[in-house]
């Protein structure tokens, strides 16, 4: 009896080992996001939850980081398999320009654009600035030194025919720009972010603003020279006292990966992202801005083959 029991136990153990060996291995991925107080971190957490619940044997962990520049480096070093990155930063990384000058990260790949981050230009009504060219001789904050905002400002000025020498420039963060504006230390400042931006909203609680439009020729020049820009309209009423639409450009928060990632895994990631967009929108307000038809626009680096396969199935790529 004991002998029979031992044989049965041994057979059960063997079957357990066989089924365990045959079971699909779990895929573990790090999703690099941004600071815990920003948008990237909770948005990334919402995406990770969807991937983990909808894709068998998937384990994506959203990780707080220093955002776009650090995320490109993490992808390049294969210390993260997924990341949320501004599409202009992906372009700089891939081509070795701006923050990545002398240090190309050529293995970064695009998956999908997620939502726009809009170039917003705030001016004081007393400054007389209604056009970027009106900034000549004025006090202008162009963003923190070396930031994505500051790079966008230089690009806008380049398309407009201006340089920093044409004005009195300050290098201030969003909150520092807001404080300087309220204290009347600057006439205008730039922000690249989603809308509405908290720093601009803070100003409009007690101060008037002018939201400056870009002219059609400047928008055309920007989108032609810098393919990561997309044309964008800030709807009237986005900010207190903004009575009309404002034309500008935007960069895109983008889900990215690297060339080492599996084609099948990235295909499933891409497919699952769009098939569960309503769930993402419930989990995070920015999820409502995820649009399949817009997902391939503004990405100037190569897409990952897994993402390409999905978009070809949907008729968005040849």
- State the pLDDT at residue 144: 87
Cβ-proximal residues to 22 (8 Å cutoff; 6+ apart), any chain: none
- State the pLDDT at residue 14: 56
- Structure tokens belonging to residue 209: 């603003």
- For 177-310, list the strands marked E by DSSP: 188-193, 210-211, 230-234, 246-258
Return the half-sphere exposure (C-beta side, CA atoms, 13 A cut-off) of residue 208.
Answer: 7
Give CATH 3.40.190.10 domain extents, the chain: 7-114+253-313, 118-251
- State the pLDDT at residue 198: 86
Quick one: fold of 7-114+253-313?
Answer: D-Maltodextrin-Binding Protein; domain 2 (3.40.190)
- Structure tokens belonging to residue 188: 């205008």
- State the pLDDT at residue 82: 98
- State the pLDDT at residue 18: 45
CA distance 253 to 195: 13
- Structure tokens belonging to residue 67: 């955002």
Superfamily grouping for domain 118-251: Periplasmic binding protein-like II (3.40.190.10)
Q: What is the pTM of this model?
A: 0.83
Q: Which of 8, 9, 51 is nearest to 28 (CA)?
A: 51
Q: Average pLDDT per run of 10 along the chain, which is 318 residues long?
A: 51 49 77 88 97 98 92 97 96 95 96 96 97 98 88 95 97 92 97 89 94 97 94 96 96 97 98 98 96 95 98 96
Cβ-proximal residues to 27 (8 Å cutoff; 6+ apart), any chain: 55, 57, 58, 59, 262, 265
CA distance 38 to 51: 21
């Amino acid at each position: 009896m004991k002998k029979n029991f031992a044989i049965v136990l041994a057979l059960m153990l063997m079957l357990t080992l066989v089924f365990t060996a045959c079971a699909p291995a779990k895929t573990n991925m790090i999703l690099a996001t941004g600071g815990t107080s920003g948008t990237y971190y909770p948005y990334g957490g919402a995406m990770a939850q969807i991937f983990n619940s909808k894709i068998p044997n998937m384990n994506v962990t959203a990780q707080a980081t220093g955002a776009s520049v650090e995320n490109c480096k993490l992808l390049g070093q294969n210390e993260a398999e997924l990341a949320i990155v501004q599409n202009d930063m992906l372009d700089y990384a891939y081509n070795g320009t701006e923050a990545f000058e002398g240090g190309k990260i050529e293995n970064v790949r695009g998956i999908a654009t997620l939502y726009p981050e809009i170039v917003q230009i705030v001016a004081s009504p007393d400054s007389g600035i209604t056009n970027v060219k009106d900034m000549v001789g004025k006090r202008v904050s162009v963003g923190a030194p070396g930031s994505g905002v500051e790079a966008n400002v230089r690009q806008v000025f380049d398309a407009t025919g201006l340089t920093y020498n044409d004005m009195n420039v300050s290098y201030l963060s969003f909150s520092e720009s807001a404080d300087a504006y309220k204290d009347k230390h600057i006439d205008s400042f730039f922000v690249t972010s989603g809308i509405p931006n908290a720093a601009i909203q803070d100003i409009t609680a007690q101060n008037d603003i002018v939201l400056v439009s870009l002219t059609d020729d400047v928008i055309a020049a920007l989108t032609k020279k810098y393919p990561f820009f997309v044309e964008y309209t800030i709807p009237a009423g986005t900010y207190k006292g903004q009575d009309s639409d404002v034309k500008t450009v935007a960069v895109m928060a983008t889900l990215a990966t690297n060339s080492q990632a599996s084609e099948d895994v990235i295909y499933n990631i891409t497919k699952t992202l769009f098939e569960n967009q309503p769930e993402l929108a419930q989990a995070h307000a920015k999820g409502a801005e995820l649009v399949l038809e817009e997902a391939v626009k503004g990405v100037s680096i190569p897409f990952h083959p897994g993402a390409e396969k999905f978009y070809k199935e949907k008729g968005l790529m040849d």
